[in-house]
Amino acid sequence: LWQETLVHLEQALNPQHFTTWIKPIRFVSLKKDLIQLEVPNRFVLDWIRIHYSQLIQETLSNIGAVVYRIQFSIATQNSDSILPENKLSPGINKNQQEIKIEPQPRSCNYAFNLNSKYSFDEFVSGSSNQFAYAAAMAVANNPATTYNPLFIYGGVGLGKTHLVNAIGNAILRKNPDMKVCYYTSEKFMNELINSLRYAKMDEFRNKFRTMDVLLIDDVQFIAGKERTQEEFFHTFNSLYESHKQIVVTSDKFPKEIPGLEERLRSRFEWGLIADIQAPDMETKHAILKMKAEQNGINLPEDVALFLANSISSNVRELEGFLVRIGAFASLTSTPVTLTMAREVLKDILVEKNRELSIEEIQKVVATYYNIKVSEIKSSRRLKVLVLPRQIAMYLSRQLTSYSYPEIGERFGGKDHSTIIHAIKKIEKAIENDYQLSATINNIKNALAH
Ligand code: ADP
Ligand code: MG
């Protein structure tokens, strides 16, 4: 068994690290869930404990050994000189150190970063998210056999992180032996940078490539980061080829993520792409009811309807308002009423009902497409500029009360017929182009209207 473990470790580690740290370990015994290993000295012991005990334990589990405790002892001939007698607490064998891995349900060893508070049960599905919800459930029920990769995209606070974690938790409940890993793409990048700095790339690669399920949240952050995209590309291929489930989320459709490499984009399109739209009134209402119950807030029907109707479609924000109202009620020992809710949210509501400016629309659209506001206002006919420009014009008409000539003026002095033409074009396009209409909804969501 130990021989086999060594073979795996040798593959997983850089040869020098393997020779320095792992090779000198001598196998002593394996009894039940306890493995005893011997190392040459205290220094090696500490080093292994910090850097390799988890890997060793994982490797053992991977080859089928249920090991909860690893006991290291120091080979006798070296120990005395290294370990001064007086530094030891009484009662502890000076040459032994045991690393105890809490005998949790085995699954916990395989849940990397997963947030256990997110489940499908606590996700309200409605027309705005039912496609993503159904796809997520399908993946959770049959990982790597239905949709691979699953790509979920949608605006801020609409439940992407909740859904991917729910997938991971559901898979683990059904398959406690699977290795399920949740990472934001940012964390993936930071870990990569560290691994490069400390020459631990083998460990890094091995870690991700031995997962059964890899959940990468907010992948848009790695756009433009060449090295990270390359590494992620190889991780993706390796997992995909060995039929492991990959789930990726983003705030945009793959084609619209500026700076995302073509090869990654095309891989994201191999599987299923599901969007989450801003929730409609009914869904917001249902979410509020559920969250109120979870937080022990007594939410009368009229207040729930008022909240669902009058404010944000960002669920995270909605939750924040609810918590504020609940806190106010509890601090003042008064029940939640409509008057009270209006009072507590007064400032926010004024802010929300204020009319948008065309400048804000231009700015949000420009940011979304990673172009400059001046480019949106210009007359350049480049394809990458024309669509955002037309969308900005369309939204300016839809979300403000400016006239066509006034809009034209704010788009670098264009004729009103240019504006009318652009708006007609978008109106027509969204009739058949589901993706475009989802994009526009996304931008509206970012504008919080
Ligand atoms: P995102 O990752 O898309 O920005 P999150 O998943 O972090 O959004 O969701 C924000 C908050 O809203 C979380 O607390 C989440 O539980 C909640 N939430 C979002 N959508 C739903 C939903 N459909 N049902 C219940 N809670 C939701
Ligand atoms: Mg998120």
Dihedral class, residue 159 (left if φ above 0, else alpha if ψ from -120 to 50, else beta): left
Q: 94 C-alpha to center of ligand 2: Å?
A: 48
The rounded distance, in Å, linking the Cα atoms of 414 and 418 is: 7
Of 253, 296, 244, 297, the closest CA to residue 272 belongs to: 253
Q: 116 C-alpha to center of ligand 2: Å?
A: 15
Cβ(166) – ligand 1 distance below 6 Å: no
Residue 16 pLDDT exceeds 70: yes
**Residue 68: its pLDDT value, please?**
67
What's the DSSP call for residue 98? E
Q: 152 C-alpha to center of ligand 2: Å?
A: 11
**Residue 96: its pLDDT value, please?**
62
pLDDT digits (tens, 9 = 90+) for 381-391: 999 999 999 99
pLDDT digits (tens, 9 = 90+) for 119-145: 999 999 999 999 999 999 999 999 999
What is the average per-residue pLDDT within 353-379?
Answer: 91
Atom in ligand 1 nearest the alpha carbon of residue 315: 12
Percent of the chain with pLDDT over 90: 57
Ligand with the closest atom to the CA of 129: 1
Least confident of 19-23, 108-112, 172-176, 339-343: 108-112
φ, ψ at 154 (rounded to 5°): 175, 165
Residue 353 pLDDT exceeds 70: no
Of 82, 163, 81, the closest CA to residue 120 belongs to: 163
Least confident of 38-47, 168-177, 194-203, 277-286: 38-47
Can you read off the two tokens belonging to residue 195?
């691994």
**Residue 300: its pLDDT value, please?**
93
Cβ(316) – ligand 1 distance below 6 Å: yes
pLDDT digits (tens, 9 = 90+) for 413-447: 999 999 999 999 999 999 999 889 989 988 887 88
Return the best residue to mutate from 121, 125, 315 for the ligand 1 pocket (most ligand atoms within 8 A of CB): 315
What is the average per-residue pLDDT within 51-79?
Answer: 75
Cβ(117) – ligand 1 distance below 6 Å: no
Return the best residue to mutate from 120, 158, 216 for the ligand 1 pocket (most ligand atoms within 8 A of CB): 158
**Residue 80: its pLDDT value, please?**
39
Cβ(318) – ligand 1 distance below 6 Å: no
Ligand with the closest atom to the CA of 153: 1
Of 203, 219, 216, 286, the closest CA to residue 251 belongs to: 219
pLDDT digits (tens, 9 = 90+) for 213-253: 999 999 999 999 999 999 999 999 999 999 999 999 999 99
**Residue 98: its pLDDT value, please?**
64
Atom in ligand 1 nearest the alpha carbon of residue 283: 23
**Residue 97: its pLDDT value, please?**
63
ipTM: 0.99
**Residue 121: its pLDDT value, please?**
94
What is the average per-residue pLDDT within 150-177?
Answer: 94
Alpha-carbon distance values, 445 to 133, 303, 395 (Å) = 19, 23, 12
Q: 159 C-alpha to center of ligand 1: Å?
A: 3
Return the best residue to mutate from 117, 316, 317, 319 for the ligand 1 pocket (most ligand atoms within 8 A of CB): 316
Task: Give the residue, by CA position, lying nearest to ligand 1 atom 23.
Answer: 124
**Residue 21: its pLDDT value, please?**
84
CB 102 within 8 A of CB 136: no
Find which of 16-20, 288-292, 294-298, 351-355 is predicted with most confidence, using mean pLDDT: 288-292
Cβ(159) – ligand 1 distance below 6 Å: yes
Binding residues for ATP: 157, 159-161
**Taken in order 159, 164, 167, 173, is the CA torsion positive or negative?**
negative
Q: 87 C-alpha to center of ligand 1: Å?
A: 51
What is the average per-residue pLDDT within 141-162?
Answer: 95
Task: Give the residue, by CA position, lying nearest to ligand 1 atom 1.
Answer: 157
Burial tier of 212 (Cβ tally within 10 Å: 0-12, 13-18, 19+): buried
Residue 351 banded pLDDT, cuts 50, 70, 90:
low
Mean pLDDT of the chain: 87
